[in-house]
Amino acid sequence: MNLFDASLGHPRPAVGTRLSARGSPAAFLDRDGTIIEDLGYLGDPAGIRFIPGAVGALRALQHAGFRLVLVTNQAGVARGLISEADVRRVNGRLTALLAEAGIPLDGIYYCPHHPEYGPPEYRRDCDCRKPRPGMIWQAVRDLGLDPARSVVIGDHVSDARLAQAFPGMRGILLRTGHGAEEWQKIQQGELARPEHVADDLRAAVEWFLARAGGQDVVGSHPA
C-alpha cells in the first residue's frame, strides 16, 4: 500500500497526457465523514469510529474489482491543530482495522496544506488540496489506475468535483459528515449539485455499482 506524503507536491500532468485504458478501476474515497465519523481534526487513533455500513460498502467495491484509495484533506496540520505524525498514526490505525476486516487499502494520500493558514511549508496554494486533482493524479501514476472507470466519493462537494478533471469518472456526494450542510447549500443554490447525492457510503456504492456493471451486492457484505 502506498502511504503518500502529499506535502512533497504533485506535478501537473503535461498537456496532452494520455491515460492508459488498461489501468485498474478505483474508488477514490474521502476519510472523515465518509468512512469514519468526522470528529474534527482527528489526531488520536482511538477516536476512529466507522460510519454504519461503510465497511460493507468498501468490501463490495473491492469484490467488484475496484482499488481502494483514500484521498483526504488534512488542513489541521497547517492550522497547527494536529501534526503530520498524528495524521499518519490515524491512517495507520485505519489501515490496520480495515486489514483485519479483510479489506486492504491500496493507497492513502493526504494534503496537509491550507492556502491561508500555517507556516510557509504548509501555507501554500497547492495542487493536492481538493478539489484540485493532484492526489488523484499521483495515485493514477503510482498504482496504474484508469480514471475513466473510477469514482470519487465524499461528504463535500469538493470531493465530487474531483471527477470533473477526469473524463468518465463519476462523483458522488454523501449526506453523512458535512454532507447534510452541503446538501442544504445545494438546495439553496449556493453550491452546484454533483452527479449524484447519496445518504451514505453504502447507498452511494449501490448506486455506482449498478451503473458500473458491478455484480456485487452491498447488502451481501455486512459492515
Residue where the block lists cell 511549508: 121
Consecutive H or E run containing 29: strand 26-29
The number of beta carbons lying within 10 Å of the beta carbon of residue 166 is 21
**Nearest 10 degrees: Cα torsion 123, 108, 39, 77:** -20
- Residue 26, strand partner residues: 67
- Of the residues 5, 32, 106, 146, which is catalytic? 32
- Of the residues 30, 38, 86, 127, which is catalytic? 30
Q: Is 216 a catalytic residue?
A: no
∠ CA 95-97-100 to the nearest 5 degrees? 110
Q: Is 86 a catalytic residue?
A: no
CA–chain centroid gap for 207, Å, is 17
Which 8-state DSSP code applies to residue 220?
G
Pick the closest to residue 3 from 125, 115, 138 (CA basis).
138
In the chain, alpha helices (H): 54-63, 84-100, 134-143, 157-161, 179-187, 201-212
Residue where the block lists cell 451481501: 220
Report the catalytic residues. 30, 32
